[in-house]
Amino acid sequence: MPGRRTRSSPLRGSSAWEPAPAAAPSSAGPSYEILCEFFNCFESSTRLLRMKGSKATFPNICASIQNLAERRFTYGHLAQLKYIMPEAIVINKILLRDDKTCCMKPDLQVNLLVDSVEDSVMQKGETRYSALRRMF
């Protein structure tokens, strides 16, 4: 575990705490690497949809993430991202008008809250989006 501290050997005569060797970045496992890729694509998609002026509904975000990641993005992946960062991802149930049937259909509006990143976590010259990516 990175940042874990271990006690030095008593044979050395020092009782100071030393940082443990950092784990390799690829040791997280392939499923976490895929989730990290999905989170980066999710962040990019929400920014693009906000600049475009479109609502960030699940079908819009899903299509964008699938184009960027070249993988299928499902509700299960969204639930895993929400479980990992519950304070940063907000999901609301909304009703949208379907033009084909003239009926209201339920949908999910997915937003990324960059305000959840505290100023103390951010590094100098870093945006809230990049701090959120680094935290993930």
Region 43-67 average pLDDT: 90
**pLDDT averaged over every residue in the chain:** 75
In a domain, 122, yes or no: yes
Domain count of the fold of the chain: 1
Residue 49, pLDDT > 70, answer yes
Predicted pLDDT of residue 31: 75
Residue 72 or 9, more confident: 72
pLDDT digits (tens, 9 = 90+) for 12-30: 444 444 444 444 445 557 7
In a domain, 102, yes or no: yes
Check if the beta carbon of residue 134 is closer than 8 Å to that of residue 43: no
In a domain, 104, yes or no: yes
Q: How many residues does the chain have?
A: 136
Residue 93, pLDDT > 90, answer yes
Residue 101 or 14, more confident: 101
Residue 4, pLDDT > 90, answer no
In a domain, 44, yes or no: yes
In a domain, 124, yes or no: yes
CATH of the domain at 87: 1.10.10
Domain range for 111 is 29-135
In a domain, 24, yes or no: no
Residue 51, pLDDT > 60, answer yes
